[in-house]
Amino acid sequence: MNQLREAQDWRGALRQHRIARGLSLAEIARRSGVSLSALKAYESGDRRPSRKALDAVLVAIGLSHDDGNPILAGAGFAIDWRAVLERRYLADIDEIKSQADATPWPVFITNQGSYVVHWNRGFELVWDVDVEREFPDVLSRNLLSGASLARFTRCIVNYEETMSFFMGLLKGDPRAHQDLEHPAPWNEAAMQRLFEGDPQELRRLMEAWDRAAPIPHRIRHQYKVVWRHHPTGRDLRFLGQLTVCDIWNDLNWQEWTPADSETWLFLESLQASRHDRSRSRDADAGAT
């Protein structure tokens, strides 16, 4: 049944759902506690139900949220978004982490404040970093505060394009208006550390902020990254994809998918090299 038509003719939709399930008005009255005369008036258009009465009728008919929400909207009531989201987008963070660990290219998970809460081997190989050892405290694992670290920002070959995207997301945050000097509460600590970083990198970031246009937040975004792998000087090309993976905890899945064959092959060589080094260490440990 077309949802737009249901929203425009919710009374007709209510009647069609009832008939399709073989239910009489008398049976709906019995199940819902709403009088038979009221039910007849709802369907005929002589009377408008209260939210409580309409909810009871929808339950009595046995409608799902998907079927009931257009009727609620057509009758002038707010739909039950939370119930829809909870049913459709439940997240298991352990499962999400396992998926990240099994992905061969860089994957990292960020929260509302742009803190990296999980990362995989591909991320460490491309960024040339041992996160646990080099960035042991949570605050140091923030993408925003890291934007003034030349070690990483100098690796972004398309700096203006990439940073304008992330600055645009900050500007477009619907939860709070913010700028670099007046950040949202969840970005305050990271912003303070940002201003303690390299002045030259901070100046570059401020310029990117000034140029960036606000980007409305969506479930999924794409951006391009050209990353210079510091140990080898190789330029790697990725299609960055930012996807909401946990609505309730505001977690974003970010993955850098190789954008050309050269990047694919180089990543495979990095993975193989790391595997060989790991096997060599294990063999040495066994020999001792």
Could you report how far apart the first and last alpha carbons of the chain are, in Å? 71
Cα-based angle 252, 253, 257 (whole degrees, multiple of 5): 145
122: Cβ contacts below 8 Å, ≥ 6 apart = 103, 104, 105, 106, 107, 256, 267, 271
19: Cβ contacts below 8 Å, ≥ 6 apart = none
pLDDT per residue of the chain (288 residues) written in tens, 0 to 9: 444 444 458 999 999 999 999 999 999 999 999 999 999 999 999 999 999 999 999 999 999 878 898 899 899 998 877 777 777 777 889 999 999 999 999 999 999 889 999 999 999 999 999 999 999 988 889 998 889 899 999 999 999 999 999 999 999 988 888 777 788 888 888 888 888 889 999 999 999 999 999 999 999 999 999 999 999 999 999 999 999 999 888 899 999 999 999 999 999 999 888 765 555 555 555 555
Using the 8-state DSSP alphabet, how is residue 201 labeled? H
| Whether 164 contacts 208, CB under 8 Å | yes
- pTM (two decimals): 0.71
Query: At 274, which helix (H) or strand (E)?
Result: helix 261-287
d(CA 274, CA 18): 62
Identify any residues that bridge with 214 across adjacent strands, giving them in sequence order.
none
Tokens of 207: 């310029």
Residue with tokens 């459709």: 88
Domains and CATH numbers, the chain: 3-88 (1.10.260.40), 93-287 (3.30.450.20)
Q: Which of 256, 282, 222 lies closest to 126 in space, CA to CA?
A: 256
3 state SS of 179 = coil
Q: Which of 1, 212, 47 lies closest to 57 in space, CA to CA?
A: 47
- One-letter amino acid of 210: D
- One-letter amino acid of 288: T
